């Protein structure tokens, strides 16, 4: 008998053979990145691990839909082995049980044949047991592959999604609040490696805000090892704010601020080969996130796609995910807010007007600091 871990994936299996092999290899590489000492082998639809496997890490690897610790024996050993396995796994405390069969390969028997055979074997060994296929107290899983058998009684849910990196790289604008780490995680789950970026608008933000963003990104390192926050400092807003006040256009401050952030993020993305930008904007959540203002913001990064996974989410949806992935506590930790926000920010800016003002700003001539 040999103990191993069985790794299951779902969406990968639906792909064409070339893509499936590529994504399987990406998943295997991600497992090895998390646990370098573990030996990995794969068959169609399954990945097997040997060695010092850490289930707490397996839960955070994108692409894994579930996993089980299994005991591996030869098929011809199963009749002698099964009662002892069940005894060690507490079947005597159960009143009902079910055998769940999976079979791969050519055999002279069906899965149902073996389920009945092994069920009768256990009923003879444990006379108090009754079969309940719908809601058993205990499930015993038997997976037969050619002349080998794998037994397990527990299936642990994984994070699912696609293997990290198969869809490329995105830049995530990270503020350190609740939403931005959530969207970074959501795009990781869809196969994107994330480059977190904090655009520090000098004079209006202090180090507490940057420190909070760094702590939040470190929470995301459980899902993407080695992830680091890049901080780019920019004095644009200090100059632009003065000009906007002088032009009685201070209500557009947040829009000019975010347009600048988008341009910095666009330059950073192009420089690093990223395929887009992801932001935590949700429709109507704050003044800059109305439909009218999102048109103004998107215009600033027209060279590269902008992804907004939370656009239709309620705030409670984002909070729920933040709690689940472990970023919530850091996101609500104390930090100073932005001091540039005007008393009455615009909610219905027109792109033509913003462009007209921007063309006249001296601050707009400042080079992007990337």
How high is the pLDDT of residue 13? 82
Quote the mean pLDDT of the chain. Answer: 93
Distance CA 47, CA 70 (A): 12
Tens of pLDDT, residues 37-81: 999 998 877 899 999 999 999 999 999 999 999 999 999 999 999
CB-count burial class (<10 Å; 0-12, 13-18, 19+) for 251: middle
pLDDT (tens digit per residue) in 278-331: 999 999 888 888 999 999 998 888 789 999 999 999 999 999 999 999 999 999
Largest CA distance in the chain: 90
**Residue 244: both structure tokens together:** 């906007």
Q: Please give the pLDDT value at position 57.
A: 96
Over residues 81-105, mean pLDDT: 95
How confident is residue 220, by pLDDT bands cut at 50, 70 and 90?
very high
Q: In percent, how much of the chain has pLDDT > 90? A: 79
- The alpha carbon torsion through 253, 254, 256, 259 (nearest 10 deg) reads 180
Mean pLDDT value across residues 23-33: 95
C-alpha 223: how far from its chain's center?
7
């Amino acid at each position: 008998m040999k103990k191993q871990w069985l790794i299951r994936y779902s969406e990968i299996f639906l792909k064409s053979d070339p893509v499936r092999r590529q994504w399987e290899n990406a998943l295997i590489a991600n497992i090895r990145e998390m646990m370098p000492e573990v030996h990995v082998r794969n068959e169609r639809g399954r990945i097997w691990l040997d060695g010092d496997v850490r289930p707490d890490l397996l839960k955070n690897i994108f692409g894994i839909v579930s996993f089980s610790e299994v005991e591996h024996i030869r098929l011809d050993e199963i009749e002698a082995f099964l009662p002892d396995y069940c005894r060690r796994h507490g079947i005597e405390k159960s009143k009902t049980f079910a055998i769940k069969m999976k079979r791969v390969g050519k055999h002279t028997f069906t899965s149902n044949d073996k389920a009945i055979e092994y069920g009768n074997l256990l009923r003879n060994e444990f006379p108090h047991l009754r079969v309940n296929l719908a809601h058993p107290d205990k499930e015993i899983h038997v997976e037969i592959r050619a002349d080998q058998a794998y037994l397990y009684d527990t299936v642990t849910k994984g994070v699912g999604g696609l293997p990290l990196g198969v869809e490329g790289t995105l830049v995530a604008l990270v503020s350190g609040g609740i939403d931005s780490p959530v969207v970074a995680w959501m795009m990781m789950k869809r196969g994107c490696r994330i480059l977190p970026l904090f655009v520090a608008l000098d004079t209006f933000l202090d180090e507490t805000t940057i420190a909070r963003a760094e702590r939040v990104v470190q929470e995301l390192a459980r899902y993407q090892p080695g992830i680091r926050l890049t901080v780019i400092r920019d004095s644009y807003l200090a100059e632009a704010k003065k000009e906007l006040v002088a032009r009685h256009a201070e209500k557009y401050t947040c829009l000019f601020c975010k347009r600048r952030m988008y341009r910095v993020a666009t330059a950073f993305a192009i420089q690093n080969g990223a395929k887009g930008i992801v932001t935590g904007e949700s429709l109507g959540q704050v003044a800059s996130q109305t439909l009218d203002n999102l048109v103004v913001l998107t215009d600033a990064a027209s060279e590269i796609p902008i992804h907004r996974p939370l656009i239709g989410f309620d705030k409670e949806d984002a909070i729920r995910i933040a709690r689940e992935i472990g970023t919530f506590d850091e996101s609500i930790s104390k930090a100073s807010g932005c001091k540039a926000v005007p008393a009455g920010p615009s909610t219905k800016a027109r792109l033509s007007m913003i462009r007209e003002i921007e063309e006249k700003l001296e601050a707009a001539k400042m080079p992007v600091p990337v």
